[in-house]
Chains A and B, each alone.
Chain A
Amino acid sequence: AQKVTQAQTEISVVEKEDVTLDCVYETRDTTYYLFWYKQPPSGELVFLIRRNSFDEQNEISGRYSWNFQKSTSSFNFTITASQVVDSAVYFCALSEADTGRRALTFGSGTRLQVQP
């Protein structure tokens, strides 16, 4: 069965520090998609990235970068030079294309607090 684990419940850093949010997933499918979403205090989930299982290239977008490693079933998210505005709950999610569970499976989220 599919599962997403975000072992870090809460992380606190000081502004300008780098921080990595861990995501480990379980799936039997060979074709699947991984996502990261940000949930600021307002509550709305903001889409950050979608990555398919056949594309293991790391991605960088400004201060954000993602490291996808199929060998360890991980899809970690790094924020470089964190800012107070990065404070939010971050969710990793999995969608499987083969087995027919037609939904996203979410991890329990990591709350990031960036102190000024």
Chain B
Amino acid sequence: DGGITQSPKYLFRKEGQNVTLSCEQNLNHDAMYWYRQDPGQGLRLIYYSQIVNDFQKGDIAEGYSVSREKKESFPLTVTSAQKNPTAFYLCASSKQRYTDTQYFGPGTRLTVL
């Protein structure tokens, strides 16, 4: 089945550690996105990529990094510079442009201990 997978589902991190969240899609979509969701709030854009080897900062990119070496994969690294990383992270993809429908993965819940 085509879709978006994210792993792990739950992730615990100690302060000062970097962690990498995985996002893979087999929808043959060009564009991929990372969003952060805090309790009771909407989604905020962290990074997006419209094509392999290219990505752009979103509204809250500080303390995060990404790579896009393959069309199918868009991993997100939460670095120690991110002051409040505990949140729910959602990955999405769309066919080409950001105006196309974005489809979401199941999310990763990150907790900093």
Contacts and interface: CB of A to CB of B under 8 A. Distances in A.
A28 B92 CA distance: 26
B25 interface: no
Nearest to A42: B106
Nearest to B31: A102
Contact of A103 (B33, B40, B88): B33
Nearest to A91: B42
A109 B33 CA distance: 19
Contacts of B44: 106
Nearest to B33: A103
Contact of A102 (B40, B98, B101, B109): B98
A114 to B, nearest CB: 19
Interface residues of A, number: 22
A45 B102 CA distance: 10
Contacts of A42: 106
Contact of B42 (A33, A95, A106): A106
A50 B101 contact: yes
Nearest to A95: B99
Interface string B82-104: 00000010101000011101111
Contacts of A45: 43, 90, 92, 104
A97 B42 CA distance: 21
Given A102-B56, A109-B42, A44 B99 contact: no
Interface of A: 4, 33, 35, 37, 42-47, 50, 91, 95-97, 102-104, 106-109
16 contacts: A37-B104, A44-B104, A45-B43, A47-B101, A91-B42, A95-B98, A95-B99, A103-B58, A104-B45, A104-B98, A106-B43, A107-B42, A108-B41, A108-B42, A109-B40, A109-B42
